[in-house]
Amino acid sequence: MNQPIREALPTPTGWLVAPTREFCLFFIRDPKSVMVAPTVYTQLWYCLEDGTPTKLKNTRRLDYECAVETWHELLSQDWELVEHQLNACVEAA
Residue 16 has what pLDDT?
A: 95
pLDDT string in tens for the chain (93-residue length): 455 545 567 788 999 999 999 999 999 999 888 877 789 999 999 999 888 899 999 999 999 999 999 999 999 999 999 876 554 444 444
Residue 83 has what pLDDT?
A: 75
Q: How many CB atoms lie within 10 A of CB 17?
A: 25
DSSP assignment of 45-69: EEE-TTS-EEEEEEEEEEEHHHHHH
* Contact yes or no for 82/17 (Cβ under 8 A): yes
Query: Number of C-alpha atoms within 13 angstroms, CB side, residue 58?
Result: 2
